[in-house]
Amino acid sequence: MQDAVFKTDISGDFVLCRALYARYKKEGGGGMEHFERKGIGEALFGLPYPGRGILLGMGENGRDLFLSYFIMGRSENSRNRVFREEGEELRIDPACPERLSDPSLVLYSPLRSVSGRLIVANGDQSDTIHDFLEAGKSFEEALFTRSFEPDRPNDTPRISGIMDLLGRNYTLSILKAESPGSGNCARYFYHYAFEPGLGHFIHTYQGRGGPLPSFQGEPRPVLIRERTAEELAGLIWRSLDPENRISLYVRRIDRESGETENALINRFLCT
C-alpha cells in the first residue's frame, strides 16, 4: 500500500503531510513492517519501561470497541498521579497535591470526547485535538501544531489516538524527534479499519536508558481476546512492571446498544 499525502491548511500555509497508512494482513505485504499478532500481555513482555501506552481496537464479537491508556513513572513527581473520571472523559490529578513539584507534562486530560469520537493522548495535545475537531478541522491538522515534549534529553514522543464510535476506523499518531537532540519533529499517522479481535498498540519508550529511547517502528498489532474492560485491564496491569506502573484505564463500548464499561486502576493514593 502506498503512502497517502494529506494537504492541510494551517495558519494560511499549505503543508504536505506524508501520512503512513498501516494495514496488516495475515500474509503481511504492502511494503510495511510485519509483526506477528500477539496478545497485549505478550506485546508488553520484555518491555521494562514502555512509559505511556495506547491501545485501540475491536473485540472478537465485532461489536465491542476497546480503548486503553496507561502511565508509568520513575520520579516522585511522575508517580504522584491518579486517574479520575469526569463524565465521559478522564483527567489526571495529583494523588497528593502538596507533594506536586511541577505540573507541566504530568497533569492533563488523556481522554476527551467530541461528536461521537474518542480522543486519547499522553499529553495536553488531547485538548488541541478536541478544539480542532470542534472547529471542523482534522486530527492531523491539530497535531501539525504540536511537537514532542520539551523534556530534553529524552524528547519524549507525543502519542495520540482517535476512535470513531460510529464509523469503521481509528487512527494512531506519534510525534517524535527526527534524531536524538536534533530539535526536528517527525509526525507519523497510522490509519486502520476495525477488524474483529484486533487492535493496535503504541507506547512512548523502547525501554530503559539515558536518555530514554523513543518508540521505533509502527504500532504493534495485538489480538484482543478479552470480553470485558475488567479482563483487559487485569491483563495489562499484570503485564506492566510492578515497580513503575502508576495508573491504567480501559473502556469497552458496545456499538449496537451504546453501553459502556470502564475499568480504572490507580496504584497510589495520598496517605
Q: Which residues contact 199 (CB under 8 A, 6 or more apart)?
A: 40, 55, 56, 57, 58, 66, 221, 222, 223, 224
How many Cα atoms are found within 13 Å in the side-chain-facing hemisphere of 40?
A: 33
* Domain harbouring 40, CATH code: 3.60.20.20
Looking at residue 40, its pLDDT comes to 96
Query: What pTM does this model have?
Result: 0.88
With cut-offs at 50, 70 and 90, classify the pLDDT of residue 36: confident
Q: What is the pLDDT of residue 182?
A: 83
What is the number of structural domains in the chain?
1
Q: Say which residue, 7 or 123, is predicted with more confidence.
A: 123
Residue 271's pLDDT band (boundaries 50, 70, 90)?
low
140 backbone dihedrals φ, ψ, rounded to 5°: -65, -40
* Domain assignment of residue 250, yes or no: yes
Q: Give the model's confidence band at 208: pLDDT under 50 very low, under 70 low, under 90 confident, else very high.
A: confident
85 belongs to a structural domain: yes
The model's confidence at residue 269, banded by pLDDT at 50, 70 and 90, is: confident
d(CA 72, CA 51): 5
Residue 145 grid cell: 501544531
Closest CA to 147 of 183, 102, 181: 183
CA dihedral 221, 227, 230, 234 (to 10 degrees): -50
Domain range enclosing 76: 36-266
Q: Is residue 48 part of a domain?
A: yes
If phi over 0 gives left and psi between -120 and 50 gives alpha, with beta otherwise, what is residue 178? Answer: alpha
For residue 16, the model assigns a pLDDT of 32
The verdict on residue 203 lying in a domain is: yes
Average pLDDT, the chain: 88
Identity at 206, one-letter amino acid code: Q
- Classify residue 16: in a domain, yes or no: no
Distance (Å, whole) CA 131 – CA 68? 22
pLDDT for 229-261, tens place per residue?
999 999 999 999 999 999 999 999 999 999 999
pLDDT tens-digit readout, 73-105: 999 999 999 999 999 999 999 999 999 999 999
Residue 146 lies in a domain: yes
Query: In Å, how far are 48, 129, 151 from 245, measured between CA atoms?
Result: 10, 27, 20
3-state secondary structure of 118: strand
CA dist 160 and 158 (Å) reads 7
Q: Which pLDDT score is estimated for 99?
A: 93
